Structure 1
Amino acid sequence: MSHISVNFLVVGDTGVGKSSIIASFFGEKIQPIHLPTHVLSASHCTFAFSSKEVEAYICDLPGSEHFRPIVSCFYPGAAAILLVFDLINKHTFNNLPRWMHDIRETLPAHSVVVLIGNKSDLEKARVVSRAEAQIFADRFHLRYFEVSAALGLNVGLAFDVAAGLVLDKVEERDGATSEEDKAVSSCDMGEEERLIWKKLM
């Protein structure tokens, strides 16, 4: 089976749960105390479709304002960006237009952006409704998922759909046509690759 190698970026404000989402996806233990990400780290995962394998390097990027100029430098090499906000923190939702502005300025036209609202398990504490998040997603033509990194809800689905959308874009770009596939992912957290960037596109 042929395969493509691509980069996925997980971005969003600090504290929204980007690292926890990645840890949940790989079946790793989630840290109970938030520790801001200060270095770039990448983990490897393969999504198997009927027509092709998508080999993804999933990169966890810092979310603090200090790192924004650095983070934006990685957008041109990304096949997919998972933009995360916190359903119980309105400030992180209000900052999404700034993220989209930076993303749109440098992201290749054939790349995919998926919007993720984290902490869906904290329903009583949520301050961003599904409706308003969906309105934002529709405005920018994004797929939207509500996930819980703590419980593992919809985390795998969001990554699988992102991989499928990337494959669709690649085949569309290459002039190929295919049916919609369901991904079977095979992932390995392995040893974190820090302070690296692999340009595979």
Structure 2
Amino acid sequence: MSHSYQFKYIIIGDAAVGKSCIMLNFIDKRFRAEHDLTIGVEFGSKIIDVQGIKIKLQIWDTAGSESFKSITRSYYRSAAGALLVYDITRKDSFNHLSEWLNEARLNGNPSMAITLVGNKFDLDENRTISYEEGLRYAKDNGLGFLETSALTGHNVNQAFVDTALAILGKINDGTIDLNSPIAGVIAKEKLVRTPEKQQGCCKGS
């Protein structure tokens, strides 16, 4: 399937919040209950349709363990979008969000679109972080926000689509420079059309 753009994504957050499961559900529509902790980074890709525009997502799922942070920092630099994931049943994963956000903004490009993702919505009865708390944090920090379940697939696709929409908005308003090597965006087709007057001239020749 041909595509107009290629976006680089990273998925960040504490270990065991469900980052790898979110990527697996998004790409393969399946859930793996037993999942080894990510060592370094894992990679996946998928083409999605966003408002009629085909976009290939290259997704890097990063390790949440502190011992791998030096490895994963290099993946921030050229990412166009990021999913910042916490577990709605684990207060510690929410409390660590600012550390991850600081890492992303320190090591990533300034135009990166970041979506806050509260995962494990299927465990709603065990939640320690309310939806309102997540939404407030997102608004205070200029992030997109939704809650997902990697088990049921609830909002998983939407998390990737919402981030892509934010990136497209940055492209359209000029925030993202398509010629920048660290933008995390590759335009596969030239979408800037030839001026109508020039087209008419050519047709008449």
Contact conserved, 2:15 with 2:65, CA < 8 A, in 1?
Answer: yes
Amino acid corresponding to residue 4 of structure 1 in structure 2:
Y
RMSD, matched Cα = 2.0
Aligned to 1:38: 39
Larger helix fraction of residues: 2
For residues 1-201 of structure 1, what are the structure 2 equivalents within 5 Å? 3-50=4-51, 52-173=53-174
**TM superposition shift of 1:50:** 4.7
* Distance in 2 separating the partners of 1:132 and 1:50: 30
Q: SS of the residue aligned with 2:157?
A: helix
Question: Following TM superposition, by how much is the alpha carbon of 1:44 offset from its aligned partner in structure 2, in angstroms?
Answer: 1.4
Q: What is the alpha-carbon distance in structure 2 between the residues aligned to residue 149 and residue 32 of structure 1?
A: 10
Q: TM-score under structure 2 normalisation? A: 0.80
Identity of aligned residues (%): 29
Change (3 A) 1:135 1:124: same
Residues 135 and 145, structure 2, Cα contact 8 Å, conserved in 1:
yes
Aligned position for 1:185? none
- TM-score, structure 1 as length reference: 0.82
Q: CA 1:21 to 1:50, structure 2 compared with 1: closer, same or farther past 3 Å?
A: closer
Higher mean alpha-carbon deviation, 83-92 vs 54-63, is at 54-63
Shift in Å at residue 53 of structure 1?
A: 2.7
- CA distance in 2 between partners of 1:51 and 1:134 (Å): 28
> How many residues in Structure 1 have an aligned counterpart in Structure 2?
178
Q: Looking at CA atoms only, which structure, 1 or 2, has the larger radius of gyration? A: 2
State the Cα deviation string for residues 9-63 of structure 1 (Å, max 9, x = none): 0111100000111111123432212410014221111222456432210111111
> 5+ unaligned residues in a row in structure 1: which ranges?
176-198
